[in-house]
Amino acid sequence: MSMDSDNARVTLEREGAVAHITFDRAEAHNAFTWAMYEELDAILASLSDDQNLRVVTLRGAGGKAFVAGSDISQFHEFSGGADGIAYEAKMNGYFDRLLAVPVPTVAIIDGWAVGGGLNIAACCDIRIASRRARFGSPIARTIGNCVSMQTYNRLVSGFGEARAKRMLLLAEFIDAEEAMAAGFLARLSEPDAIDADANAVIQRLLENAPITLRVSKAAIGRILARDIDPADDLISLAYGSEDFRRGVDAFVKKTKPEWQGR
Q: Is the pLDDT of residue 199 over 70?
A: yes
- Among candidates 163, 157, 142, 3, which has minimal Cα distance to 71? 142
CB 132 within 8 A of CB 201: no
Tell me: the pLDDT tens digits for 28-42? 999 999 999 999 999
Farthest-apart Cα atoms in the chain, separation = 56
Tell me: the pLDDT tens digits for 86-145? 999 999 999 999 999 999 999 999 999 999 999 999 999 999 999 999 999 999 999 999
CB 66 within 8 A of CB 121: yes
Each domain of the chain, given as residue ranges in start order, spans 9-193
CATH class of 9-193: alpha beta
Q: Is the pLDDT of residue 158 over 60?
A: yes
Question: At what angle are helices 116-123 and 149-159 packed, to 10 degrees?
Answer: 70
- DSSP states along 199-229: HHHHHHHHHS-HHHHHHHHHHHHHHH-----
